[in-house]
Amino acid sequence: MRESERAFDTAIEAMANPYRRQLLVALMEHNPQADDDIDPLNINSKLGEDEALQLELLHNHLPKLEELEYITWNQDTREISKGPKWDEIAPLLELIDNHRDELPDGWL
């Protein structure tokens, strides 16, 4: 498998979860973000202060995105910023963001 194919597969894996997609899209415009914002695009207002989702973000989604190097997560300051491999995922995020209104419900 070529490196470009591997990078695409990794980007798709990172965006497989709607909360990771939301965070990454939000990070395009607001870099850095706080790790306590479970709905950075204000899409799911029903989430409110859902503790289970917050734990899922802190123990699953953020570590995964950090491991893939799409984000840098400073747990001391609770700040999330674009990581060293951000440029690999940015074109897909821009495509999603530019066509947000055309996407089916739940995609973002």
Mean pLDDT throughout 34-54?
59
CB-based contact 84:69 (threshold 8 Å): yes
Domain, as residue range, for 96: 3-100
- 106 in a structural domain: no
- Has residue 90 got a pLDDT over 50? yes
Other CB atoms within a 10 A radius of the CB of residue 89 amount to 26
Residue 35 reports pLDDT greater than 80 = no
Question: Rounded mean pLDDT of 68-95?
Answer: 91
Residue 67 inside a domain? The answer is yes
The CATH number of the domain where 64 resides is what?
Answer: 1.10.10.10
Lowest average pLDDT, out of 27-31, 62-66, 68-72, goes to 27-31
